[in-house]
């Protein structure tokens, strides 16, 4: 049975600098969540965001970064862009 933190298991994909920044930003965001606000949803959002950044920095693994890196990048050739511009100009 897997738990909620199982997405943070596996090889590390963050550099030491990214990890340090994540931990510092996570602690700062979680600390900001302790201030009383008129809308408590903002406190919860800040606390969750700070917790995510803290766990990301502590484990050295970011599932969002991994997902973005595994997405295939579709590059549009320059000729296709030029053709699209010409056809738009002809329609005007």
Q: What is the DSSP string of 36-88?
A: --S-HHHHHHHHHHHHHHHHHHHH---HHHHHHHHSPP-PPPHHHHHHHHHHH
pLDDT at 1: 46
Report pLDDT digits (tens) over 46-55.
Answer: 999 999 999 9
pLDDT at 4: 66
Give how many domains the chain has, as a whole number.
Answer: 1
Residue 67 belongs to domain spanning: 4-91
pTM of the entire predicted model: 0.68
Alpha carbons 67 and 26: distance in angstroms, whole number: 21
Report pLDDT digits (tens) over 21-48.
Answer: 999 999 999 999 988 888 899 999 999 9
Closest CA to 54 of 82, 30, 37: 30
């Amino acid at each position: 049975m897997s738990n909620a933190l199982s997405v943070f298991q596996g090889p590390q994909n963050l550099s030491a600098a990214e990890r340090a920044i994540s931990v510092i930003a996570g602690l700062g965001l979680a600390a900001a969540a302790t201030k009383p606000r008129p809308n408590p949803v903002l406190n919860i959002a800040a606390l969750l965001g700070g917790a995510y950044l803290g766990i990301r920095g502590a484990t050295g693994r970011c599932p969002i970064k991994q997902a973005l890196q595994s997405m295939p990048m579709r590059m549009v050739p320059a000729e296709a862009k030029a053709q699209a511009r010409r056809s738009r100009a002809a329609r005007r």
